[in-house]
Amino acid sequence: MAQGVKGKLNYRCPRCLMREIDMDMLYDNENKEYYCIRCSFIGDEKEVQRVNAQFREKYVDRINRISDF
């Protein structure tokens, strides 16, 4: 694998985030991908943002009290 560097934006690994682990990803300039050294997540910026959006969805209703089921 090519030498990883810190990306211009420091993204957290979305997959680790789902397990409540705060992990910065490294950027692979050659493949233009971010990757996580902890869980082997690999994805370009779009993929990172997509999984991040998925993660946020989980908490989208957190400020509303849900009383109807």
Tokens 């993204």 locate to 11
Least distance from Zn ion to the Cβ atom of residue 11, Å: 10
Q: Which is nearer to Zn ion, 23 or 51 (CB)?
A: 23
Binding site for Zn ion (CB under 5 A): 13, 15-16, 23, 36, 38-39, 41
d(CA 34, CA 56): 19
> Three-state DSSP class for 64?
coil
Please name the helix (run of DSSP H) or strand (run of DSSP E) that holds residue 29, with its range, or none.
none
Q: Which is nearer to Zn ion, 37 or 63 (CB)?
A: 37
Q: Which is nearer to Zn ion, 43 or 61 (CB)?
A: 43
